[in-house]
């Protein structure tokens, strides 16, 4: 069959037949047209007009029938011509071509895709993702599927610091990766400030991340290729993600403080005291701002060494006073929260009255020895105390998020179960209180 559309037949002219040339003279008529000739001419004109009208009616009828059947645009004229010319065979073939056109097939394919999406089981989706490199999937709720990349197998991690033997980070992280089903190793390595750069340069591809404790949280900043907002804001990073050739720094101490206090029931504090002026004090300052603080008093041994905290406080919109330890509780205003960032076993001249210790919550980031001198004085009058181990566990949970997914905001599969495994590994409950024999040893990290 010829696929090219046949031209629509032209309607016959309704004009009179062309006249004879002037030199052809009818011998029967010399002066005009005879009556018989005129009648013959009129009959011919009427017949031509009727034929034209019949042809137009046939064309209109064929077009109407084609519109009702909704053929494809390319074949519409073909069907009209077939109807006009009476070529039934061509008309049938045109209909067959219209049925075979690809456009309706596309519409059917779209419908199939939608239908498959609606009926595929979640387990089938998981199997597909597994083929693409997923080694574990947990807590599928039909909306969000948490996955762990297959590249997570056999990775190395460690906590760095000096001294480092006291650290509870290995117990926390190992419990987390065991709960996640990851065969990852996590060690503790004694690394000084002077040796940090060389250590980072010597790391191989098997390394995924590092936790940092004293005295490395500030000295690592110039060695990083990128930092998150909180690390940039505080000038402190306690977490390093090794992502190809990049060293990405994070600060999870701030969120660790806020989450530990929230778990203990403290969601807000307008007036806060901070003891100590080191790296953790900067994180405590930002945490105070996140808790809604308006005023912060920072008590230190050396006022000059702590003035670097003032610009950060002003950036956070906080009123800050830097004072000596001896002035810690000389005001009539009672703080709602006292955060001690002093190393474990460090002595302090800060003395708080019984009234303050009953009314203010104490977070002591140190946990070796425990209870600390401050914690003992708070407990003696029935005050509320949050152990630094609770903060350590909460910030470690966020580190695990980073090491697993690269995103501190991406929750872990069965995150609550992972946190419970971590807390059990160091012998505390969700509020940081010791469980079991109550023995908790370690130092602020």
Supply the residues annotated as catalytic.
Answer: 217
Contact indicator for 221, 249 with CB cutoff of 8 Å: yes
Residue labelled with tokens 């900067």: 282
User: In the numeric block, which tokens belong to residue 96?
Assistant: 């067959």
CB neighbours of residue 224 within 10 Å: 18
17's tokens: 């037949």
Assigned token pair, 411: 């929750």
Q: What is the 3-state secondary structure (H, E, C) of 131-185?
A: HCCEEEEECCCCCCCEEEEHHHCCCEEEEEECCCCCCCHHHHHHHHHHHCCCCCE
Centroid of chain to Cα 12: 72
Q: Give the sheet arrangement for strand 271-275, strand by strand.
A: 319-324, 295-300, 271-275, 337-340, 361-364, 385-387
Using DSSP, state whether 247 is helix, strand or coil. strand
C-alpha to C-alpha distance for 346 and 348, rounded to whole angstroms:
7
Look up residue 170 and give its two tokens: 């290995």
> What values do phi and psi take at 322, rounded to 5?
-105, 120
Tokens of 225: 């290729």
Count Cβ atoms below 10 Å from residue 403 Cβ, excluding itself. Answer: 25
């Amino acid at each position: 069959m010829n696929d090219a559309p046949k031209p629509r037949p032209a309607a016959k002219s309704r004009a009179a037949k062309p006249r004879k040339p002037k030199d052809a003279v009818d011998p029967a008529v010399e002066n005009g047209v005879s009556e018989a000739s005129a009648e013959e001419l009129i009959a011919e004109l009427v017949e031509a007009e009727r034929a034209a009208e019949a042809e137009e009616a046939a064309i209109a009828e064929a077009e109407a029938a084609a519109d009702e059947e909704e053929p494809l645009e390319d074949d519409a004229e073909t069907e009209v011509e077939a109807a006009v010319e009476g070529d039934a065979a061509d008309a049938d073939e045109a209909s067959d071509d219209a049925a075979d056109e690809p456009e309706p097939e596309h519409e059917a394919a779209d419908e199939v895709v939608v239908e498959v999406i609606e009926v595929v089981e979640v387990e089938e989706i998981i199997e597909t993702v597994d083929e693409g490199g997923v080694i574990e999937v947990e807590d599928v709720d039909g909306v969000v599927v948490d996955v762990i990349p297959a590249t997570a197998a056999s990775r190395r991690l460690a906590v760095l610091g000096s001294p480092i033997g006291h650290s509870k980070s290995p117990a926390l992280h190992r419990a987390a990766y065991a709960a996640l089903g990851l065969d990852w190793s996590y060690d503790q390595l004694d690394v000084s400030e002077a040796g940090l750069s060389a250590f980072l340069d010597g790391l191989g591809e098997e390394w995924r991340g590092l936790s940092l404790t004293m005295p490395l949280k500030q000295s690592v900043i110039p060695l990083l290729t990128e930092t998150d907002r909180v690390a940039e804001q505080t000038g402190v990073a306690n977490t390093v993600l090794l992502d190809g050739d990049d060293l990405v720094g994070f600060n999870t101490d701030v969120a660790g403080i806020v989450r530990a206090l929230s778990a203990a029931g403290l969601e807000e504090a307008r007036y806060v005291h901070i003891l100590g002026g080191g790296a953790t004090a900067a994180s405590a300052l930002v945490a105070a701002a996140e808790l809604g603080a308006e005023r912060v008093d920072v008590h230190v041994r050396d006022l000059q060494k702590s003035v670097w905290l003032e610009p950060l406080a002003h950036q956070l919109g906080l009123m800050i006073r830097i004072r000596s330890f001896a002035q810690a509780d000389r005001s009539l205003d009672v703080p709602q929260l006292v955060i001690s960032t002093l190393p474990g076993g460090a002595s302090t001249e800060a003395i708080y009255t019984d009234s303050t210790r009953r009314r203010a919550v104490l977070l002591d980031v140190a946990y070796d020895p425990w209870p600390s001198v401050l914690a003992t004085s708070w407990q003696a009058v029935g005050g509320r105390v949050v152990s630094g181990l609770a903060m350590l566990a909460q910030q470690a949970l966020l580190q695990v998020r980073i090491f697993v997914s690269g995103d501190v905001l991406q929750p872990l599969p069965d995150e609550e179960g992972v946190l419970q495994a971590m807390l059990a590994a160091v012998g505390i409950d969700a509020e940081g209180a010791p469980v079991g024999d109550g023995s908790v040893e370690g130092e602020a990290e």
